[in-house]
Amino acid sequence: MIISDRLAQIPESYFGKTMGREIEHGPLPLINMAVGIPDGETPKGILDHFANALYQPENQKYVAFHGKVEFKQAIVNFYQRQYGVELDSEEEVCILYGTKNGLVGLPTCIVNPGENVLLPDPGYTDYLAGVQLADGIPKTLPLAPPYYLPDWTQISNDTLINTKLVYLTYPNNPTGSVASQQVFDDAIKQFKGTKTKIVHDFAYSAFGFDAKNPSILQTEGAKDLAVEIFSLSKGYNMSGFRVGFAVGNKEIIRALKKYQSHTHAGMFGALQDAATYALNNYDDFLEQQNIKFRNRRDYIQAQLDEVNIPYEPMAGGIFLWLQTPPNYDGEQFVSYLLQEQSILVAPGIPFGQNGKHYVRMSLALDDEQLKEAIARLKSLQSLYHQQ
């Protein structure tokens, strides 16, 4: 097999090897709760704008590597409107061809071989690959239930001194926990004046059920050391478009742009036009999305409470972090649910060692499927309460 030593050391992407595979399940109709792809359609206005943009001659040719002026200005306006954060469209904005590309590519841009990178546990699975591709040293940032927030006193000074980058992600994938502005204030204070930088993965920004999710850039001094990565995939039902952006620290943005100028040749102009239109015109849609998923959260938690099935409080995002029954780890429970209840969920272990006795359930299902899935789960209450 021809593969480089560097690539060989990286484990297979969990979702890369599972999405699209043929699933063998029990006798009931399959309910897929494993993948966080929003179940709604992209708003018609965005699709119409995208369709019209396809016919524009300027979009049928190469475009500027670092994005259209109109798209970058829409990002600036959006952050001012939503978070009161001022951005420089040229120096503090980097367009991304899907946020995963930015999150995985960032260590290559700013981390030197042998430097530490703190990764949340539990946290998104593919951060690790980016660290390994950069020959960085992954270190665990342990997050404990029920709120899964960083405790910087738990990290040794030796680790902190050699840490170049810290990943944060709120609302957290997979736990559904959220951060207050104080959490970000503490993080910026912790690393201010050091070589450590912070990247905040803000993919589920639209989904804050008990309060609006803050941006890390709202913290005073955050742009001195932090960038935030924003996705249009979830809030706008645009996952197939693969459009996102990074905003914040000028030096990190400059490094990301240089990296992308060698790995990409400019985002398709019609995609940029569609994203521009979404950012400029669909603030109300983001609120509708939040209400829809908050109602789903309320329903699911109430149903599980009825039968005393344990889960971690879900304050944002689109996933429920469900504890496994006694005598099951996450992978065993995934197999049980698939064969006995025809429910597909994601095991907790790909998200970190702290996920060993959890599974992640997506709420991105229509109401009928969601009710059926919860009814099947409730029928398993005896597994949780064996004497």
The per-residue pLDDT string of the chain (387 residues; one tens digit each, 9 = 90 and over) reads 788 888 888 877 766 555 556 778 778 899 999 988 888 999 999 999 999 999 999 888 878 778 899 999 999 999 999 999 999 999 999 999 989 999 999 999 999 999 999 999 999 999 999 999 999 999 999 999 999 999 999 999 999 999 999 999 999 999 999 999 999 999 999 999 999 999 999 999 999 999 999 999 999 999 999 999 999 999 999 998 999 999 999 999 999 999 998 888 788 999 999 999 999 999 999 999 999 999 999 999 999 999 999 999 999 999 999 999 999 999 999 999 999 999 999 999 999 999 999 999 999 999 999 999 999 999 999 999 875
- Cα–Cα distance measured from residue 294 to residue 64, given in angstroms and rounded to the nearest whole number: 39
Q: What integer pLDDT is reported at residue 16 of this predicted model?
A: 56
Q: What integer pLDDT is reported at residue 25 of this predicted model?
A: 78
Q: What integer pLDDT is reported at residue 17 of this predicted model?
A: 54
Residue 75, classed as helix, strand or coil, is helix
Helices (H), the chain: 5-8, 14-18, 44-54, 69-83, 99-110, 127-133, 157-161, 181-191, 250-263, 269-281, 283-306, 330-336, 367-378, 381-384
Q: What integer pLDDT is reported at residue 265 of this predicted model?
A: 78
Q: What integer pLDDT is reported at residue 284 of this predicted model?
A: 97
Q: What integer pLDDT is reported at residue 49 of this predicted model?
A: 96
- Cα–Cα distance measured from residue 107 to residue 119, given in angstroms and rounded to the nearest whole number: 12
Q: At what angle do helices 99-110 and 250-263 cross, to 10 degrees?
A: 110
Give residues with Cβ within 8 angstroms of 12, minimum separation 6: none
Q: What integer pLDDT is reported at residue 314 of this predicted model?
A: 96
Q: What integer pLDDT is reported at residue 61 of this predicted model?
A: 84
> Looking at beta carbons, which pairs linking 135-140 to residues 24 or more positions away fall under 8 Å?
135/6, 136/107, 136/111, 136/112, 136/164, 136/165, 137/162, 139/163, 140/352, 140/353
User: Which domains are seen in the chain, by residue range?
Assistant: 5-42+284-380 (3.90.1150.10), 44-282 (3.40.640.10)
Q: What integer pLDDT is reported at residue 230 of this predicted model?
A: 97
- Cα–Cα distance measured from residue 225 to residue 249, given in angstroms and rounded to the nearest whole number: 6
The predicted model scores a pTM of: 0.95
Distances (CA, A) of 246 to 80, 125, 253, 320, 365: 15, 19, 7, 27, 29
Q: How, if at all, do strands 137-142 and 343-344 pair?
A: unpaired
